[in-house]
Amino acid sequence: MDYNQILEAQPQLSSAEMKVQVDGARRLQLERYRQMGITFNGELQGKLLRAHCRLHKEAETLLRKSFEVLGLSVRAYDRILKIARTIADLDGSDTLDTPHLAEALQYRSLDKKTHSAGFPR
């Protein structure tokens, strides 16, 4: 996808709409992890990460191919899952579907491009 395709593919949210969406995702995460000693998806590790970041079959296939083609590390794999979980939360979805994973992979790719271009992380 190029930049224009990304803009065309996503409906533009107002700041107020975006705030509602983010607040909803934060509440969802707070409730989900209430008894686990963590607050947000970014804190997921190990068994908790695997339990809360289950992928649909098609999404798993995409991640497997991406892992092989891009030579992702285990750390990158985990980060992509956490980001996909957050995207799914923003979407109000209990499951991680292919669009959530694809968006997370795009962010990973963008992060790599900006870092290699000399932009700070």
- State the pLDDT at residue 1: 57
CA nearest 91: which of 107, 79, 103? 103
- State the pLDDT at residue 93: 92
- State the pLDDT at residue 13: 79
pLDDT along the chain (121 residues), means of 10: 66 87 96 95 95 93 92 92 96 93 86 53 53
CA distance 36 to 19: 26
The number of C-alpha atoms within 13 Å of 64 and in the hemisphere containing its C-beta is: 7
- State the pLDDT at residue 114: 47
Structural contact between residues 57 and 65, judged by C-beta atoms closer than 8 angstroms: no
Structural contact between residues 89 and 28, judged by C-beta atoms closer than 8 angstroms: yes
State pTM to two decimals.
Answer: 0.80
- State the pLDDT at residue 115: 47
